[in-house]
Amino acid sequence: MEGTPVEQVIQSVKDYYDQHGIFLKRFGFGKKPGLVIIDMAYGWTDPEYATGSQRLDEAVIEIRRLLEVFRERSLPVVYTTSPFRQEDVAPFQATKESEKMFRPWDVHACEIDSRLAPRNDEFVIYKDNASAFFGTHLAAHLIDKGVDTLVVTGCSTSACVRATVTDARAYRFKAIIPRECVQDRAAAAHEWNLFDMDAKFGDVVATDEVLAYLKELDTEEKQD
């Protein structure tokens, strides 16, 4: 089998699903989308932090494309980040050596990257767990706004993005994951989790497909 080891594993699982006629079905888009931007704070986007990665730079560019359109259409936008508590710092600093190499975790690490800065009227959730839903008001907020389709962006693909997508499905929202708008520190974890989410919990699509969907919504509203 050709391809990288990760591509080979993905293909073998896909072949199994195809053979048994399970998973890998499209969930589709609904009628009212909302956008969630997960943990695009400096602790994750700035490589000077041990937990940060320059791999998120391209995701920032793609998220901004979606953010502009959501704002133009006055569609719901939600951000998440972590609350800063001094007693919680230790898990993010593995060793004293890492403190010498990387900036220690601080209040700035929890601030959302200025390239994606939220507006005053946009909902910011400070979460303690991976999922943007667990222990937060996200589900209630989306229901109140009439949202049935949640476009999930941010980081990390293998952790907070995946947990949010899984819970979105549990709450019966249609989860849409624009491939270019999510990222992970590890390429292998990124690719595997994109495949697995697409197979079971949501639709992994190109950013351009989401933009086309938003344009179609405009057309439908004019016809109505």
Whole-number pLDDT of residue 129:
95
Task: Find the catalytic residue in 110, 155, 160, 181.
Answer: 160
CATH superfamily of this structure's domain 29-223 = Isochorismatase-like (3.40.50.850)
pTM exceeds 0.85, yes or no: yes
Q: Across the chain, where does the E strand assignment appear?
A: 33-38, 77-81, 123-126, 149-155, 174-178, 182-183, 203-205
- Residues contacting residue 85 through CB under 8 Å, at least 6 positions apart: none
Residue by residue, pLDDT tens for the chain (224 residues) are: 678 999 999 999 999 999 999 999 999 999 999 999 999 999 999 999 988 999 999 999 999 999 999 999 999 999 999 987 766 655 555 566 666 667 778 899 999 999 999 999 999 999 999 999 999 999 999 999 999 999 999 999 999 999 999 999 999 999 999 999 999 999 999 999 999 999 999 999 999 999 999 999 976 665 55
181 is known as an active-site residue: no
For residues 3 and 200, give the distance between their C-alpha atoms in angstroms, rounded to a whole number. 23
Return the domain boundaries, the chain: 29-223
Please tell me the predicted confidence (pLDDT) of residue 103.
78
Instruction: Return d(Cα 18, Cα 159) in angstroms, integer.
Output: 26
